[in-house]
Amino acid sequence: LYRLNGVGARRAKGFQVTNCTAWGNLINFGGNRAYDVVYDYCVSDQPKKSDDELYTDYAFTFVEHSVRILVRNATVDQMYTDVLADPSSSAAIEWALSRNVAHVGASGNNEFRPENSITRAEAAEFFWRYAGRPGMLPLRYDYFDDPSSDVSADSFCADAVRWLEDDEIAAGNNFRAEDKITIQEICSAMLRYAYLVEDASSEASRALTLSGEDTKWETPSKPSSQEEEKVALDWACEQGIVTKAEAADPKASFTRARMMGMLQALDNAKTTTAK
């Protein structure tokens, strides 16, 4: 991950990795603050020994605001075993993989569970990855207190929940991590995020600045707290993030696959200018 002691560069820029095969690593190929990196004809293989000796969680993954990563002519043995070629969901999941929003691996990560109702914890994690992993990314979890009464510092969603609380997208004291997230909650979170990207003091804005993009959404005037829920639903409909039928049932839950579709729609609705 180019995070070795003594490496002084803030960005791994200009690497080209060609004709390499990796197996049995937690991450076979990856980048940390990687800019303009090319992986060509690389093979991410399954473990060659028993799973308890060598394992692979992620074939390719890029963290801490890595951008402009080109992976071409790759061979990846890891795959989701439960995502069928259904255009209504598989295209969005493929997009999520390409954007590093979703991960696939061989050690317990080979099922996406597309039809499972998504929890607030899972939605937070996916949203945080989409936003460029805003906030401080610790090397060790014991540097930090638990971000919520029901989310420990070593939870898979701890960094995501900490960001949502710090940027005031969602309250963190009792995050209700295992509850199902509703249409209303995701629409409100996305609208708050759209406002934040223009606030230079926010973690969301800083993550976008590091990514080298200037991203904005067309947003309504900030509503009062009493009007926010309706405004968020109307805005999400206008942006194509949710359907009118979904907005008409704001307390309904939705699936993990649908979350990928919402994030893809949010991404499609933005206006982006490279810096």
In a domain, 241, yes or no: yes
- Predicted confidence at residue 20, as pLDDT, reads 92
- The residue written with tokens 């049995």 in the block is 24
> Which residues touch 262 (CB under 8 Å, ≥6 apart)?
186, 190, 241, 242, 254
Residue 53's pLDDT is what? 46
Please provide residue 254's backbone torsions phi and psi, each rounded to the nearest 5 degrees: -150, 175
pTM here is 0.77
Task: Confirm whether 246 is domain-assigned.
Answer: yes
Domain count, the chain: 1
Residues near 47 by Cβ (< 8 Å), separated by ≥ 6?
Answer: 23, 24, 53, 54, 55, 56, 106
Q: 141 lies in a domain?
A: yes
d(CA 198, CA 196): 5
- Whether 190 maps to a domain, the answer reads yes
Closest alpha carbon to 180 in 267, 68, 255, 258: 255
- Closest listed residue to residue 121, CA positions, set 22, 259, 264, 213: 259
pLDDT at 237: 97
In a domain, 31, yes or no: no
Query: Edge-to-edge, what's the strand order for the sheet holding 43-44?
Result: 21-22, 43-44, 75-76
Considering the domain boundaries, does residue 61 fall inside one? no
Rounded distance between C-alpha atoms, residue 222 and residue 192, angstroms? 9
Domain extent, residue 152, equals: 116-275
Token pair recorded at residue 72: 């071409």
pLDDT score at 65: 65
Tens of pLDDT along the chain (275 residues)? Answer: 444 454 455 556 678 889 999 887 778 888 777 778 888 999 887 655 555 445 667 778 777 667 778 888 888 776 677 887 676 778 888 888 778 788 765 444 677 888 999 999 999 999 999 998 898 655 555 557 788 888 888 888 888 999 999 999 987 678 999 999 999 999 999 999 999 999 999 999 988 887 777 788 999 999 998 899 999 999 999 999 999 999 999 999 999 999 999 999 999 998 865 44
Give the CA angle between residues 107, 123, 83 to the nearest 5°. Answer: 50
* Coil, strand or helix at 140: coil
User: 51 in a domain, yes or no?
Assistant: no
| 10, part of any domain | no
What pLDDT sits at residue 248? 96
